[in-house]
Structure 1
């Protein structure tokens, strides 16, 4: 499953989505427009107009059609400016049609997949441990998944962030099994205005 685009700038009417997934000596692992991760050496400009200018520690300076930004590995989506000032995130579908995005839970980087069929933000067991979420502190229950019934623990997350959208006190479930990504379910999405245009999804925070 491809990594989602992590950052977005609008150099033209349609922006280029760029995610920083990893760093190597003199090279950066980028995800561009929701495609497969690719290694881009410093100084090389891709066909999409993305250039790795420099690498410094755990960050990289990226130039997109003349606009430079410094990214850290797994940095969140950055939306294009909106005239009305509402926080917005733009996510591009991968080749399989999945809308994935890098974001954060309680300030720690995670990978999300937009899932309107999930009632709550859903986190796998090992990911919850990495995030420092104590599943035992929540209320236990059973949830229906594609693989059948599974034990879950209902918890509340201090913050969930995608792009410049930050929600506080978001209800979630921690599954007893591991999951490849975190499901960005309706406990987050029902507080958004969602617009889809082809392989692009725009989320705007309602409240």
Structure 2
């Protein structure tokens, strides 16, 4: 999007050059998208406008069309547009060192609330017990779907729900599936494959390396 000068003919003076907003699509859903404008994130449905008047024209799993300063432009996931043109953001990367117990632990957050994650590639999703979910303010019994899971203690009730956001280091994902398990297990919040499958990861020489996908 190009910046432009507005001339005031009565005064023969040019107004200052308008700064183009920094626009990024960070989440895609049928008929909706999470749009970041100058660092402000907002979930927009088709036809809605967000910061700086950015309007969502259309959206599906492949991309979105936004109206920015009167011009409609296509956006892929995490593709930025500024006054200088399109630019792909740098991939977010981080490394987690294996601790003495042989596990990988990392500080992070769920829906903006701080948690300590235990990385578990054997868990199909992010998982936690009821007390942990309550501390995070998750309304899992109302918003979640009842199911059953196998644990070391046998088959127990659980609820499946989608978390608004899960962040580890600088890597943040939106709409991550999670399981809330009845009782006290697991004792730690598990960072399972519903997160790991959406990032690039590899283990080498006692380090777990994560890289955001774009």
* TM-score normalised over the length of structure 2: 0.56
Identify unmatched segments of 5+ residues in structure 2. Answer: 1-88
Partners of 1:197 and 1:125 in 2: CA distance: 34
2:193 counterpart (165, 186, 190): 186
1:112 equivalent among 96, 108, 117: 117
Work out the number of aligned pairs and report it: 124
Alpha-carbon displacement from aligned partner over 1:10-37 (angstroms, at most 9, x marks no partner):
xxxxxxxxxxxxxxxxxxxxxxxxxxxx
Counterpart in the other structure of 2:144: 138
2:165–2:176 CA contact under 8 A, matched in 1: yes
CA deviations on 1:62-113 (whole Å, 9 max, x unpaired) are xxxxxxxxxxxxxxxxxxxxxx821112111111110111100000000111
- Structure 1 residue 145, shift from structure 2 partner: 1.9
Alignment of 1:14-93 (within 5 A): 85-93=90-98
* Aligned-pair CA distance for 1:196: 1.2
Could you state the TM-score of these two structures normalised by the residue count of structure 1? 0.58
Residue 177 in 1 paired to residue 183 in 2? yes
Q: SS at the partner of 1:85?
A: coil
1:126 aligns with 2:143: no
Of 180, 195, 203 in structure 2, the residue corresponding to residue 196 of structure 1 is 203
Question: Equivalent residue for 1:70?
Answer: none
Counterpart position of 1:147? 153
Cα deviation digits, residues 142-166 of structure 1 (max 9, x gap):
0112332121100110000001000
- CA RMSD in angstroms comes to 1.3
Q: Distance in 2 between matches of 1:180 and 1:90?
A: 24
